[in-house]
Amino acid sequence: MKDTLYSIVVPVYKSSKSLVGLAMRMKNTFLKIKNADYELIFINDSPFEAKTVSILQQLSAEDENVLVIELARNFGQQAATLCGVECARGDYIITMDDDLQHAPEDIIHLIKKQNHDVVMAKFKVVKHSLFKRITSELKSYVEYKVLNKPRSLKLSSFRLFKASIAKNMFLRKTPFPFIPAILFSLTIDIVNVEVEHHVRKHGVTNYTFGKMLQVFNNLLFNNSSILLRGVGYMGVAIAVVSLFLIVLVLYKKQVLGIEVEGWTSIMLAILFFGGTVLFSLGIIGEYLIRIIATTESRPVYIVKNKSKT
Protein backbone atom coordinates (compact mmCIF):
# COMPACT_ATOMS: atom_id res chain seq x y z
CA MET A 1 0.00 0.00 0.00
CA LYS A 2 1.35 3.39 -1.02
CA ASP A 3 2.05 5.80 1.82
CA THR A 4 0.02 9.00 1.93
CA LEU A 5 2.24 11.96 1.10
CA TYR A 6 1.84 15.18 3.08
CA SER A 7 3.38 18.44 1.87
CA ILE A 8 4.14 20.86 4.70
CA VAL A 9 4.49 24.39 3.33
CA VAL A 10 6.33 26.88 5.55
CA PRO A 11 6.91 30.47 4.38
CA VAL A 12 10.14 31.74 5.95
CA TYR A 13 11.00 35.32 6.86
CA LYS A 14 14.05 36.07 9.02
CA SER A 15 13.58 33.05 11.26
CA SER A 16 16.89 31.20 11.17
CA LYS A 17 16.78 30.32 14.89
CA SER A 18 13.61 28.21 14.71
CA LEU A 19 14.14 26.32 11.43
CA VAL A 20 16.41 23.51 12.64
CA GLY A 21 14.08 22.71 15.54
CA LEU A 22 11.06 22.80 13.25
CA ALA A 23 12.62 20.33 10.79
CA MET A 24 13.70 17.98 13.59
CA ARG A 25 10.28 18.01 15.25
CA MET A 26 8.60 17.45 11.89
CA LYS A 27 10.68 14.33 11.30
CA ASN A 28 9.85 12.99 14.77
CA THR A 29 6.15 13.72 14.25
CA PHE A 30 5.90 11.74 11.03
CA LEU A 31 7.75 8.80 12.56
CA LYS A 32 4.63 8.41 14.75
CA ILE A 33 2.16 8.46 11.84
CA LYS A 34 1.56 5.13 10.12
CA ASN A 35 1.54 4.81 6.32
CA ALA A 36 2.60 8.42 5.88
CA ASP A 37 5.49 10.21 4.23
CA TYR A 38 6.16 13.94 4.03
CA GLU A 39 8.02 16.68 2.25
CA LEU A 40 8.90 19.86 4.09
CA ILE A 41 8.86 22.86 1.76
CA PHE A 42 10.52 26.03 3.03
CA ILE A 43 9.85 29.14 0.92
CA ASN A 44 12.46 31.73 1.74
CA ASP A 45 10.74 35.12 1.54
CA SER A 46 13.83 36.84 2.97
CA PRO A 47 16.52 35.90 0.42
CA PHE A 48 18.53 38.98 1.44
CA GLU A 49 19.28 37.59 4.93
CA ALA A 50 22.43 35.48 4.72
CA LYS A 51 21.91 33.58 7.97
CA THR A 52 18.47 32.31 6.96
CA VAL A 53 19.78 31.32 3.53
CA SER A 54 22.68 29.41 5.13
CA ILE A 55 20.46 27.47 7.56
CA LEU A 56 18.03 26.51 4.79
CA GLN A 57 20.84 25.31 2.53
CA GLN A 58 22.18 23.18 5.38
CA LEU A 59 18.76 21.63 6.07
CA SER A 60 18.23 20.84 2.41
CA ALA A 61 21.65 19.20 2.10
CA GLU A 62 21.23 17.08 5.25
CA ASP A 63 17.56 16.03 4.91
CA GLU A 64 16.13 14.53 1.73
CA ASN A 65 12.63 15.45 2.87
CA VAL A 66 13.45 19.17 2.85
CA LEU A 67 12.93 21.30 -0.25
CA VAL A 68 13.98 24.96 -0.18
CA ILE A 69 12.56 27.50 -2.60
CA GLU A 70 14.18 30.91 -2.62
CA LEU A 71 12.13 33.83 -3.91
CA ALA A 72 13.71 36.69 -5.85
CA ARG A 73 12.56 39.22 -3.24
CA ASN A 74 10.10 39.63 -0.38
CA PHE A 75 6.59 38.97 -1.74
CA GLY A 76 4.73 38.46 1.56
CA GLN A 77 3.34 35.47 3.44
CA GLN A 78 0.32 34.89 1.20
CA ALA A 79 2.36 34.81 -1.99
CA ALA A 80 5.11 32.67 -0.46
CA THR A 81 2.54 30.17 0.80
CA LEU A 82 0.94 29.92 -2.64
CA CYS A 83 4.37 29.30 -4.15
CA GLY A 84 4.86 26.34 -1.82
CA VAL A 85 1.37 25.02 -2.52
CA GLU A 86 2.00 25.13 -6.26
CA CYS A 87 5.24 23.15 -5.86
CA ALA A 88 3.72 20.61 -3.44
CA ARG A 89 3.37 16.98 -4.57
CA GLY A 90 1.40 15.69 -1.61
CA ASP A 91 -2.04 14.13 -1.37
CA TYR A 92 -2.65 16.69 1.37
CA ILE A 93 -1.07 20.11 1.89
CA ILE A 94 -0.41 21.56 5.34
CA THR A 95 0.56 25.21 5.79
CA MET A 96 2.06 26.59 8.99
CA ASP A 97 4.23 29.42 10.32
CA ASP A 98 8.00 29.29 10.75
CA ASP A 99 8.24 30.50 14.36
CA LEU A 100 7.11 27.30 16.17
CA GLN A 101 3.98 28.94 17.55
CA HIS A 102 2.33 26.23 15.46
CA ALA A 103 3.56 22.92 16.87
CA PRO A 104 4.52 20.25 14.30
CA GLU A 105 3.16 17.63 16.72
CA ASP A 106 -0.35 19.07 16.29
CA ILE A 107 -0.37 18.04 12.64
CA ILE A 108 -1.61 14.67 13.91
CA HIS A 109 -4.83 16.38 15.06
CA LEU A 110 -5.34 17.98 11.63
CA ILE A 111 -4.82 14.64 9.89
CA LYS A 112 -7.56 13.03 11.98
CA LYS A 113 -10.10 15.20 10.14
CA GLN A 114 -8.57 15.01 6.68
CA ASN A 115 -11.81 13.62 5.24
CA HIS A 116 -12.94 17.27 5.11
CA ASP A 117 -11.79 19.56 2.30
CA VAL A 118 -10.11 22.04 4.66
CA VAL A 119 -9.12 21.66 8.32
CA MET A 120 -8.21 24.84 10.23
CA ALA A 121 -6.41 24.96 13.55
CA LYS A 122 -8.36 26.77 16.25
CA PHE A 123 -6.22 27.92 19.15
CA LYS A 124 -7.38 27.41 22.73
CA VAL A 125 -5.52 30.50 23.95
CA VAL A 126 -3.83 32.82 21.46
CA LYS A 127 -0.30 33.78 22.56
CA HIS A 128 -0.05 37.11 20.76
CA SER A 129 0.44 40.68 21.91
CA LEU A 130 -2.64 42.72 22.86
CA PHE A 131 -2.37 44.74 19.65
CA LYS A 132 -2.26 41.66 17.47
CA ARG A 133 -5.17 40.05 19.34
CA ILE A 134 -7.28 43.17 18.79
CA THR A 135 -6.42 43.37 15.08
CA SER A 136 -7.05 39.63 14.71
CA GLU A 137 -10.53 40.01 16.21
CA LEU A 138 -11.24 42.93 13.88
CA LYS A 139 -9.97 40.91 10.93
CA SER A 140 -12.17 37.98 11.96
CA TYR A 141 -15.23 40.23 11.96
CA VAL A 142 -14.35 41.63 8.52
CA GLU A 143 -13.88 38.07 7.22
CA TYR A 144 -17.33 37.20 8.57
CA LYS A 145 -18.87 40.15 6.70
CA VAL A 146 -16.86 39.87 3.48
CA LEU A 147 -16.38 36.11 3.07
CA ASN A 148 -19.65 34.98 4.68
CA LYS A 149 -17.55 32.98 7.12
CA PRO A 150 -19.52 31.31 9.93
CA ARG A 151 -18.98 33.25 13.17
CA SER A 152 -18.00 30.06 15.00
CA LEU A 153 -15.28 29.15 12.47
CA LYS A 154 -11.81 30.45 13.32
CA LEU A 155 -9.26 30.96 10.56
CA SER A 156 -5.51 30.56 10.87
CA SER A 157 -2.49 29.93 8.68
CA PHE A 158 -2.12 26.49 10.33
CA ARG A 159 -4.35 24.37 8.10
CA LEU A 160 -4.65 21.20 6.05
CA PHE A 161 -6.42 20.82 2.72
CA LYS A 162 -6.73 18.24 -0.02
CA ALA A 163 -4.62 18.26 -3.18
CA SER A 164 -7.81 18.69 -5.24
CA ILE A 165 -8.44 21.99 -3.43
CA ALA A 166 -4.82 23.05 -3.94
CA LYS A 167 -5.06 22.38 -7.66
CA ASN A 168 -8.06 24.68 -8.08
CA MET A 169 -6.59 27.50 -6.00
CA PHE A 170 -4.71 28.74 -9.04
CA LEU A 171 -7.79 29.13 -11.25
CA ARG A 172 -8.30 32.52 -9.63
CA LYS A 173 -5.80 34.95 -11.11
CA THR A 174 -4.91 37.86 -8.85
CA PRO A 175 -1.61 39.53 -7.92
CA PHE A 176 -3.06 40.22 -4.45
CA PRO A 177 -3.98 36.76 -3.08
CA PHE A 178 -5.73 36.17 0.21
CA ILE A 179 -5.74 32.43 0.85
CA PRO A 180 -8.82 32.19 3.14
CA ALA A 181 -10.89 33.96 0.47
CA ILE A 182 -9.62 31.54 -2.17
CA LEU A 183 -10.50 28.55 0.02
CA PHE A 184 -14.01 29.86 0.73
CA SER A 185 -14.56 30.33 -2.99
CA LEU A 186 -13.76 26.63 -3.56
CA THR A 187 -15.54 24.82 -0.72
CA ILE A 188 -17.79 25.18 2.31
CA ASP A 189 -16.48 21.93 3.83
CA ILE A 190 -14.18 23.71 6.29
CA VAL A 191 -13.87 22.61 9.92
CA ASN A 192 -11.86 23.54 13.01
CA VAL A 193 -9.57 21.44 15.18
CA GLU A 194 -8.59 22.85 18.56
CA VAL A 195 -4.84 22.93 19.26
CA GLU A 196 -2.40 24.81 21.46
CA HIS A 197 -0.86 28.10 20.41
CA HIS A 198 2.68 28.43 21.71
CA VAL A 199 4.71 31.41 22.84
CA ARG A 200 7.19 32.70 20.29
CA LYS A 201 10.66 31.77 21.58
CA HIS A 202 12.84 33.65 19.09
CA GLY A 203 12.60 37.28 18.04
CA VAL A 204 9.40 39.26 17.56
CA THR A 205 6.58 39.01 15.08
CA ASN A 206 7.31 40.23 11.57
CA TYR A 207 3.69 41.30 11.15
CA THR A 208 4.03 45.05 11.53
CA PHE A 209 1.08 47.44 11.42
CA GLY A 210 1.84 48.12 7.76
CA LYS A 211 1.73 44.43 6.87
CA MET A 212 -1.50 43.94 8.81
CA LEU A 213 -2.97 46.87 6.90
CA GLN A 214 -1.91 45.28 3.61
CA VAL A 215 -3.72 42.07 4.57
CA PHE A 216 -6.86 44.09 5.31
CA ASN A 217 -6.51 45.85 1.95
CA ASN A 218 -6.28 42.55 0.09
CA LEU A 219 -9.26 41.19 1.99
CA LEU A 220 -11.45 44.24 1.35
CA PHE A 221 -10.45 45.38 -2.14
CA ASN A 222 -9.87 42.03 -3.82
CA ASN A 223 -12.66 39.98 -2.34
CA SER A 224 -15.64 42.32 -2.10
CA SER A 225 -17.19 45.52 -3.40
CA ILE A 226 -18.23 46.54 0.10
CA LEU A 227 -16.20 49.78 0.03
CA LEU A 228 -17.61 50.87 -3.34
CA ARG A 229 -21.10 50.17 -2.08
CA GLY A 230 -20.33 52.10 1.09
CA VAL A 231 -19.23 55.10 -0.99
CA GLY A 232 -22.45 54.82 -3.00
CA TYR A 233 -24.60 54.73 0.14
CA MET A 234 -22.66 57.67 1.56
CA GLY A 235 -23.27 59.65 -1.63
CA VAL A 236 -27.02 59.00 -1.43
CA ALA A 237 -27.10 60.00 2.25
CA ILE A 238 -25.19 63.23 1.57
CA ALA A 239 -27.49 64.05 -1.34
CA VAL A 240 -30.57 63.62 0.88
CA VAL A 241 -29.09 65.77 3.66
CA SER A 242 -28.01 68.41 1.15
CA LEU A 243 -31.49 68.55 -0.37
CA PHE A 244 -33.01 68.96 3.09
CA LEU A 245 -30.61 71.82 3.92
CA ILE A 246 -31.33 73.56 0.62
CA VAL A 247 -35.08 73.40 1.28
CA LEU A 248 -34.50 74.66 4.84
CA VAL A 249 -32.39 77.62 3.69
CA LEU A 250 -34.91 78.59 1.00
CA TYR A 251 -37.77 78.33 3.47
CA LYS A 252 -36.02 80.54 6.04
CA LYS A 253 -35.21 83.19 3.44
CA GLN A 254 -38.32 83.21 1.23
CA VAL A 255 -41.05 82.37 3.74
CA LEU A 256 -39.71 83.62 7.08
CA GLY A 257 -37.62 86.43 5.65
CA ILE A 258 -34.56 85.48 7.68
CA GLU A 259 -31.21 86.34 6.11
CA VAL A 260 -28.89 83.33 6.02
CA GLU A 261 -25.27 83.90 6.97
CA GLY A 262 -23.18 82.55 4.15
CA TRP A 263 -19.44 82.41 4.69
CA THR A 264 -19.18 79.84 7.51
CA SER A 265 -21.79 77.49 6.10
CA ILE A 266 -20.30 77.69 2.60
CA MET A 267 -16.77 76.94 3.84
CA LEU A 268 -17.98 74.01 5.94
CA ALA A 269 -19.93 72.64 2.97
CA ILE A 270 -16.91 72.99 0.65
CA LEU A 271 -14.58 71.26 3.10
CA PHE A 272 -17.03 68.46 3.82
CA PHE A 273 -17.97 67.72 0.23
CA GLY A 274 -14.38 68.18 -0.98
CA GLY A 275 -13.11 65.70 1.60
CA THR A 276 -15.88 63.25 0.75
CA VAL A 277 -15.11 63.44 -2.97
CA LEU A 278 -11.37 62.92 -2.41
CA PHE A 279 -12.05 59.97 -0.08
CA SER A 280 -14.37 58.43 -2.69
CA LEU A 281 -11.78 58.94 -5.44
CA GLY A 282 -9.19 57.23 -3.25
CA ILE A 283 -11.40 54.16 -2.86
CA ILE A 284 -12.15 54.04 -6.59
CA GLY A 285 -8.48 54.61 -7.39
CA GLU A 286 -7.41 51.64 -5.25
CA TYR A 287 -9.83 49.39 -7.11
CA LEU A 288 -8.52 50.70 -10.46
CA ILE A 289 -4.90 50.07 -9.42
CA ARG A 290 -5.75 46.47 -8.59
CA ILE A 291 -7.71 46.00 -11.81
CA ILE A 292 -4.73 47.27 -13.81
CA ALA A 293 -2.33 45.00 -11.90
CA THR A 294 -4.60 42.02 -12.58
CA THR A 295 -5.01 42.74 -16.30
CA GLU A 296 -1.22 43.11 -16.58
CA SER A 297 -0.91 39.58 -15.12
CA ARG A 298 1.70 40.65 -12.59
CA PRO A 299 3.31 37.59 -10.98
CA VAL A 300 2.33 36.76 -7.42
CA TYR A 301 5.90 35.61 -6.79
CA ILE A 302 9.14 34.94 -8.68
CA VAL A 303 11.30 31.92 -7.82
CA LYS A 304 15.03 32.56 -7.76
CA ASN A 305 16.12 28.95 -7.27
CA LYS A 306 15.20 25.59 -5.72
CA SER A 307 17.42 23.31 -3.68
CA LYS A 308 16.03 20.21 -5.37
CA THR A 309 14.30 19.58 -8.71
10-47 tens-digit pLDDT: 999 988 889 999 999 999 999 999 999 999 999 999 98
pLDDT, position 235: 72
Provide, rounded to the nearest whole percent, the portion of the chain with pLDDT above 70.
78
Interstrand relation of 92-95 and 36-44 (parallel, antiparallel or unpaired)? unpaired
Strands (E), the chain: 4-12, 36-44, 66-71, 92-95, 118-123, 159-162, 190-195, 303-306
Q: How much is the pLDDT for 131?
A: 62
Whether 89 and 139 have beta carbons less than 8 Å apart is answered as no
Give 151's pLDDT tier (boundaries 50, 70, 90): confident
Q: Where are the domains of the chain?
A: 4-224+298-306
Q: How far is CA 67 from the centre of its chain?
A: 23
Using an 8 Å Cβ cutoff, are 67 and 60 in contact? Answer: yes
| Residue predicted with more confidence, 259 or 74 | 74
Radius of gyration of the chain from Cα atoms?
A: 25
Mean pLDDT to the nearest integer, 289-300: 73
The rounded percent of the chain whose pLDDT value lies above 90 is 43
What is the reported pLDDT for 251?
74
Tell me how far the alpha carbon of residue 179 is from its chain's centroid: 6
pLDDT tops 70 at residue 204? no
Which helix (H) or strand (E) element contains residue 190?
strand 190-195
DSSP H helices in 199-259: 209-223, 226-250
Angle at 143 between CA 141 and CA 146, to 5 degrees: 110
The closest alpha carbon to 180, from 206, 227, 143, 132, belongs to 143
Query: Sorting pLDDT into bands at 50, 70 and 90, what band is 130?
Result: low
State the sign of the Cα–Cα–Cα–Cα dihedral 91, 78, 224, 145.
positive
Polymer length in residues for the chain: 309
Q: Alpha carbon of 84 to those of 8, 12, 80, 216, 275: distances in Å?
A: 9, 11, 6, 22, 43
Highest mean pLDDT among 8-17, 171-180, 246-255 belongs to 8-17
Of these ranges, 109-123, 141-155, 175-189, the one predicted with the greatest mean pLDDT is 109-123
CATH number of 4-224+298-306: 3.90.550.10
* Residues facing 4 on adjacent strands: 36
**What is the C-alpha separation between 143 and 137, in angstroms, rounded?**
10
281 versus 71: which is more confidently predicted?
71
- pLDDT in the model for residue 37: 95
Angular region, 33: left φ>0, alpha ψ -120 to 50, beta rest: beta
pTM, full prediction: 0.77
Q: How far apart are CA 199 and CA 186, in angstroms?
A: 33
- Report the alpha-carbon distance of residue 272 to residue 135 in Å, rounded: 29
